[in-house]
Structure 1
């Protein structure tokens, strides 16, 4: 009986050995997969309208049944390419989800349909989750005046913007915006610094972001590019194109009003809530938007969205408003997101005209940036093509998000230009290196194989996860060294704990690419954790096999099997 039990155990061990050996081979292949790290041309789907003659390709995130294959086929067939052969440019789809505008359950079901479609079709996504522009489904955040309507609470005066420094006398009740034509809104501009407003947005994001994060984490390393980016706001600003007329009355009613140039100054509530000194200034308004994005971005980062995938979408750098104090392009800078702006008309034709952007890129070390909402006034193929060139060859451009697909899908000149630019190679593009990381008890080792145009590479390791506006770790207290191609750098004698790393690669004169990750150093406290890294996995199995019969026995094997995956 004893011998039979022993033989069964050995047979089980051999079976596990074969299975784990195959896993080991698979793991090695994934480790050495070439990173795909492209520029993107996204076409944004209009979530509210379509051409009445053909709505088969319409997507609505308020109706999960509308998220279907037809829209993807429509984009790919009309453009005629997915991108170039070297995977340095990709065609993708932008989606805009106003989660305070529609039924949240419908939105969640729509996301559940969208993500598998992206995987099946190998189509990258730029996802905007916006809780700023539309608040129809959140009266509990702004109804402070009507007891007969849902959400009433006098305390909601703290969640909306004011036109003076005394919220009890000048809290707003409504707002307007002009997107091609003036729109009257049944809700006021939110107070972006209100803890209640911020937390309410986090609560809703907590239902959506884990779905996106789980999908992203499940993608193999050579498919991570399917998440092209994410923004947690749409043109977030104060004092721009989200305005309020005195006394809440359009002076030209029932006709369109004079517009934001004759609207009230906003921002008093947010500046007061943040305790900023100096009153209404552009610098203070920028801090409000930066704080709002930092709150939401850090939350997304903690839920598993990489910092390098997060973008802060604000107004066009060319937007001005006489007699008003408004936010500036610097409002797009935050520790947990890359800058992104809207570009329309002449701004889109050539963003290089803005000295402010040149200054930002130089000061921030040529951080990645995006044109989060883009449409030039062009009509010819050559003018569209030149506009794309002007955008993609300006600093470290990660993407252009064309607004909207429904407006351009029947315009042959821009479709031809999109196909041409997508099939071309960037003039110069830095791609991420291949990275191998191993931990062994109290040490960690990094080895890189360079990507394209990797002129200089540095390794930063920190004991803190905090970031700076330029995308680098804030406190580089463990390691800050150059990495040489195809050589190994090892850091011994590390204390137990969680560590955060950046591999920073520069090239092409004005591009910087940051790859980020974490590793853990832990004393062996988990049975089966033979290398002391705090988990039981394939690396512990390799150690067991190498030392089985001498250093390790069947009891160690049983511990490893019991705790494998922990």
Structure 2
């Protein structure tokens, strides 16, 4: 997985160049052109920047992949970042763009009513980030906006795919929807969150969520807005199973949009999430329009023990599954990484593995050992 520090950021189209692709791919020169291959994955958050900017970045990415003969995946995200759509989330501040009190229906609530609507949330991605309020995944306005944003992006992908010479049409490995799709996980809201809304983000205390508390992750329970809007429940006690149902509907809807655009199911992947105990949220990644995908951290070196992912694989009738976000977080040495790569990539019908934090790998003193591990795994497999 590449990112901003590698020059690949959907808000900066010029970074998606063949030269930047080659800077990464040169580390894998000499590997076979068939069998298991090394490629790139990039994220296009379509609500984070102006639509025309994201679209141009995608065009440049596809062109660079073709020019360098690099297999790619494309992640289309409208869930984690939606800063450029205050017309959807700004329900409270008339001094900010997009203000509309009716937007209270487009964000999540922590109770049965708009008086519980959120204004912010917190995310822990190696560092704590204060983010916009989580979207109401069942809001008609939000769903319509996702569809409208996806339409031109999918047209770009399909036009490019059709224009490729026959021998290059496998360069597009997959298109992903969702990004650790969940409720209250990457939009965590602590129980005392209201006390910090008037602070500068830099002054926020450090919050810690508890993955084992399924309904609220140790903070305030979310999902009321989506459950109410989606007709799942309108009063009483919100259940964890309601949250799972919401996320499943969300991912199925996005997958359906990709299928209608012409992508085959074998190239559509969801991005689900779950904790190390194999919680039911893993099941939300499974639907009839796509192949399931998940973040793989807890058992990246022993996939046979990952109860959530293995259950999802069994439940899915798709051709493949994918480790759409993967990292081995234990020993930073070649041999353990070889075992971890093999454990995931060759587990059942895995289509691909996307290991995150490429830049962090390269900054390590012994990062070259991870590159050597990739070479050895691919060469060994392709000899078999």
With structure 2 as the length reference, what TM-score do the two structures score?
Answer: 0.89
Whole-Å separation in 2 of the counterparts to 1:231 and 1:348:
20
Whole-Å separation in 1 of the counterparts to 2:167 and 2:310:
33
Residue pairs, 1:123-272, within 5 angstroms: 123-167=70-114, 169-185=115-131, 187-246=132-191, 248-250=194-196, 254-261=203-210, 262-272=218-228
TM-aligned CA deviation for residue 281 of structure 1? 2.7
Note if contact 2:89-2:133 (Cα within 8 Å) is conserved in structure 1: yes
In the alignment, is residue 354 of structure 1 matched against residue 306 of structure 2? Answer: yes
Say how many residue pairs are matched: 367
Which residue of 2 is the match for residue 310 of structure 1?
A: 268
Whole-Å separation in 2 of the counterparts to 1:342 and 1:81:
29
Which residue of 2 is the match for residue 391 of structure 1?
A: 344
Note the alpha carbon deviations across 1:495-521, whole angstroms, 9 max, x for none: xxxxxxxxxxxxxxxxxxxxxxxxxxx
In the alignment, is residue 275 of structure 1 matched against residue 221 of structure 2? Answer: no
Note the alpha carbon deviations across 1:64-101, whole angstroms, 9 max, x for none: 2222122221222113344x35x221110000111111
CA separation of 1:132 and 1:81: change in aligned 2, threshold 3 A = farther
Note if contact 1:241-1:260 (Cα within 8 Å) is conserved in structure 2: no
In the alignment, is residue 368 of structure 1 matched against residue 320 of structure 2? Answer: yes
Which residue of 1 is the match for residue 10 of structure 2?
A: 61
TM-aligned CA deviation for residue 250 of structure 1? 4.0
Note the alpha carbon deviations across 1:325-372, whole angstroms, 9 max, x for none: x8611011122111111122x432222212233333233357411111
DSSP 3-state at the match of 1:109: helix
Whole-Å separation in 2 of the counterparts to 1:364 and 1:205:
25
Query: Could you say which structure has the greater relative contact order, defined with CA pairs below 8 angstroms and 6 or more residues apart?
Result: 2
Which residue of 2 is the match for residue 545 of structure 1?
A: none
Note if contact 1:80-1:419 (Cα within 8 Å) is conserved in structure 2: no
TM-aligned CA deviation for residue 310 of structure 1? 0.7
Which residue of 1 is the match for residue 48 of structure 2?
A: 101
In the alignment, is residue 415 of structure 1 matched against residue 362 of structure 2? Answer: no
Residue pairs, 1:483-498, within 5 angstroms: none
Whole-Å separation in 1 of the counterparts to 2:381 and 2:238:
46
Whole-Å separation in 2 of the counterparts to 1:343 and 1:316:
9
Note if contact 2:293-2:322 (Cα within 8 Å) is conserved in structure 1: yes
DSSP 3-state at the match of 2:37: strand
TM-aligned CA deviation for residue 319 of structure 1? 7.0
Note the alpha carbon deviations across 1:18-58, whole angstroms, 9 max, x for none: xxxxxxxxxxxxxxxxxxxxxxxxxx1112xx2xxxxxx52
Whole-Å separation in 1 of the counterparts to 2:296 and 2:317:
22
CA separation of 1:243 and 1:60: change in aligned 2, threshold 3 A = same
Which residue of 2 is the match for residue 74 of structure 1?
A: 23
With structure 1 as the length reference, what TM-score do the two structures score?
Answer: 0.61
Higher helix share: 2
Which residue of 2 is the match for residue 299 of structure 1?
A: 257
DSSP 3-state at the match of 1:372: strand
Note if contact 1:192-1:292 (Cα within 8 Å) is conserved in structure 2: yes
Note the alpha carbon deviations across 1:436-486, whole angstroms, 9 max, x for none: xxxxxxxxxxxxxxxxxxxxxxxxxxxxxxxxxxxxxxxxxxxxxxxxxxx
Higher strand share: 1
